[in-house]
Amino acid sequence: MFTCPTCGSPDCVKPMAEILAESSSLYVPCSTCVADQPLDKMAPFRGLGITAGPDAGRCPACGRRHLDIVMAQVLDLLIDSGLKPGNAALKDVGTPLVALGVDLIDPPRLGKKDVVLVLDEIDRKTAEYVLAKVPEIKGVIRRHGGPGKSVGLPDTGEEPHLYDLLAGCDVRGDVLNSLVGDFCFYRRQSVMHVEYWRNNSVKIKVLEKMFLQGDLAGKTVVDGMASAGTLGLMAAAAGAEKVILNDAWLPAVESILLNIEANRELLGVGLERLRSLSGLPVIGGEPELIARASGSVELEVYHGDVRKLAGVVKSCDVCIIDPFPGMPSDDFVRHWQGITKDRVVTL
């Protein structure tokens, strides 16, 4: 059982084996609701003649609702609250993030607490109202800076860009199906940027190519700016002997630990936490060893500046540098070039 870092619920975070067992039917329409048509997202919603109650459009067979119907109810509440004009369309609502990001052919059919909403114009009172009235909503986040400005920490000397969790829970996961195995990576979406991993991801393809060429087998790999731990844990499953995962952003370290636990069956490890995250600085400086795992692969988790981590690690075979979106990598790479035996991989 996993405890959610935001709400403490045992239902937010599931082990990957459990997710795989249900992923084939996750958000998939049943034979009754498969014919449901999407709504016009450009037209004024209140001109569509759609009922927007909590059970409107609910499938009598599977009990779920089309994403557009759920968003229509949210928009109806926002109009009633005065946060949207009466002629607003579905496109004006915000960004819905399914609780578990998976590849979908059809628009998702949603059950209880299946969506984290990211909205640009929302206050706490209305967010709590939406959470209470729309059964499919898990959490409501207020975005700052628009969808083009990533949330999180660009570098240790800069201010983090944060969203506000106004109601409910912001923890969600993304399922990654790769050549090295199937993973689920969780994060708190109000403090870490959205990153859907898909089969055509350049970063994933780089790790898969290294796996196929044997470039990771038996190696010591550093994932210096690990975020949720995706690339480092892929390297671990791809045959690395040791993987060091580090991030200066404390919520990222929290996610790394959570994701080791959630994917431990694939990784074949048991996690030992060496110290509590409580009391640690939100932005790390001198690297501190937080946890280690052992089994099929050796893992170490650090919290600190990736440039200073080079002085702690001193030597590795492969170093992965995946900076914050929009950040140049040259300064980070410079600290690792002299101590990395094979190559520094920049993504």
* Domain 208-346 CATH assignment equals 3.40.50.150: yes
> Tokens at residue 79, please?
């109009």
pLDDT for res 245: 98
Average pLDDT over residues 315-329: 96
> Tokens at residue 287, please?
């690297």
| CB count in 10 Å sphere of residue 208 | 17
**Cα–Cα distance measured from residue 98 to residue 80, given in angstroms and rounded to the nearest whole number:** 25
Average pLDDT over residues 57-72: 97
**Cα–Cα distance measured from residue 219 to residue 89, given in angstroms and rounded to the nearest whole number:** 53
Asked if residue 22 has pLDDT above 90, the reply is: no
C-alpha closest to that of 20 among 177, 136, 170 = 177
**Cα–Cα distance measured from residue 216 to residue 342, given in angstroms and rounded to the nearest whole number:** 10
Task: Give the tens place of pLDDT for each residue, 251-308.
Answer: 999 999 999 999 999 999 999 999 999 999 999 999 999 999 999 999 999 999 999 9
C-alpha closest to that of 318 among 338, 337, 287, 341 = 341
Average pLDDT over residues 57-65: 97
pLDDT bucket at 24, cuts 50 / 70 / 90? confident
Percent of the chain topping pLDDT 70:
99
DSSP percent split of the chain into helix, strand, coil, nearest 5: 25, 25, 50
Asked if residue 198 has pLDDT above 70, the reply is: no
Single-letter amino acid, residue 327: M
**Cα–Cα distance measured from residue 109 to residue 185, given in angstroms and rounded to the nearest whole number:** 22
pLDDT for res 1: 63
Single-letter amino acid, residue 226: A
Average pLDDT over residues 154-175: 97
Strands 164-168 and 171-178 turn out to be unpaired
Asked if residue 104 has pLDDT above 80, the reply is: yes
The structural domains of the chain, with segments of one domain joined by +, span 31-168, 208-346
Q: Describe the strand order of the beta sheet including 288-295 as a list of residue ranges.
A: 269-273, 288-295, 298-303, 242-247, 220-223, 316-321, 340-346
Please list the residues that pair with 176 across neighbouring strands: 183
**Cα–Cα distance measured from residue 245 to residue 257, given in angstroms and rounded to the nearest whole number:** 10
pLDDT for res 12: 92
The answer to whether 252 touches 192, Cβ cutoff 8 Å, is yes
Residue 144: CA count within 13 A, CB half-sphere:
12
Average pLDDT over residues 32-52: 92
Residue whose tokens read 């975020």: 227
pLDDT bucket at 50, cuts 50 / 70 / 90? confident
Asked if residue 246 has pLDDT above 90, the reply is: yes
The answer to whether 330 touches 307, Cβ cutoff 8 Å, is no
> Tokens at residue 2, please?
């996993």
Residue whose tokens read 């690990």: 226
pLDDT bucket at 23, cuts 50 / 70 / 90? confident
Average pLDDT over residues 319-340: 96
Asked if residue 39 has pLDDT above 70, the reply is: yes
Average pLDDT over residues 25-32: 94
**Cα–Cα distance measured from residue 166 to residue 131, given in angstroms and rounded to the nearest whole number:** 10
pLDDT for res 196: 65
pLDDT for res 20: 84
**Cα–Cα distance measured from residue 7 to residue 13, given in angstroms and rounded to the nearest whole number:** 11
pLDDT for res 86: 94
Average pLDDT over residues 188-208: 86
Asked if residue 190 has pLDDT above 90, the reply is: yes
The answer to whether 231 touches 323, Cβ cutoff 8 Å, is no
45-49 contact pairs (CB < 8 A, 24+): 45/72, 45/75, 45/76, 45/79, 45/88, 45/89, 45/90, 46/76, 46/79, 46/86, 46/87, 47/87, 48/72
